[in-house]
Structure formats: structure tokens, C-alpha cells
Amino acid sequence: MAGRRRPPRARAPRQGGSAGGGRGESRLGLARLEGFLAWEAEVAAAERDARAFAEQFPWLPAAERESLERAYAADRLRYAEEVVDRAVERCRRLAARYRAECRRICGRWAALCLSVTLAAALFAVVPAALRG
């Protein structure tokens, strides 16, 4: 019918993962499998809905009804792909924002810890210097 369009853009794997594979590759593999299955379910739903839509026009010849089904399914899959791509892009923007926020917070904590350590060292050294 509509043919299998490509799934929405997948996230590129991170560089510098563990050399032996392990959990990261396993999670990535499971995420890809989940994405593949979700996309196949979307394709099946689009084809099912396209058939149901085309059945509303029983006076159309079979060839035109099939053409209508293909157009309906293709349009629906194009829309689904756009929705997924927008969600992925939003997730990427949020991840970048959260990473920046995390770096900012970690920097503040490092500055605070360094200040407290220096203050403690100063309070330990100054009284001994004043006595001696």
C-alpha cells in the first residue's frame, strides 16, 4: 500500500562509549528496537485508517480507491514523522539546556567547597601564626 517509509531520524550513538559494549550498547539496541516497533505500529495504523477512509467512497473504482489509500497513508506517515522529529529536536534542546544548567550548578558547588576549604585552612593557620 503506502510502502515503508523510513522511521523518523534516530539519535546518533554517543562517541567514546565503553570499548566492551555493555549496558550502553544494550540500552541503545533496546531503544532502537522499541523505536522500530513503534514506527511499524504507526505504519500499520496509517494503513488501517487509510482503508477505513477509502471505504467511505464505494463508488470509486478500485484503482482510485487504492490511490486514495496510498495518499492518505503517506500523508499520515509524513505527519507522524514530523511530530516525532519535532519531539526529538525538543528533547535535544532540553538536554543541552539541562547539561548547561548542571555545569553551572557544579561550578557553583565547586566554588563553594573551595571557599569553605580555604576558610577552614585560614582559620586553622591564622591563630597558630598569631601565637608564634
d(CA 39, CA 70): 17
pLDDT, one tens digit per residue, over 1-47 is: 545 566 655 555 455 444 455 788 888 899 899 989 999 999 999 99
* Gyration radius from the chain CA atoms: 29
How distant, in Å, are the alpha carbons of 115, 121, 123 from that of 128? Answer: 20, 11, 9
Q: Which residue in the block uniquely carries the three cell numbers 539519535? A: 11
- The answer, as to whether pTM is greater than 0.85, is no
d(CA 6, CA 20): 30
Q: What is the pLDDT of residue 7?
A: 62
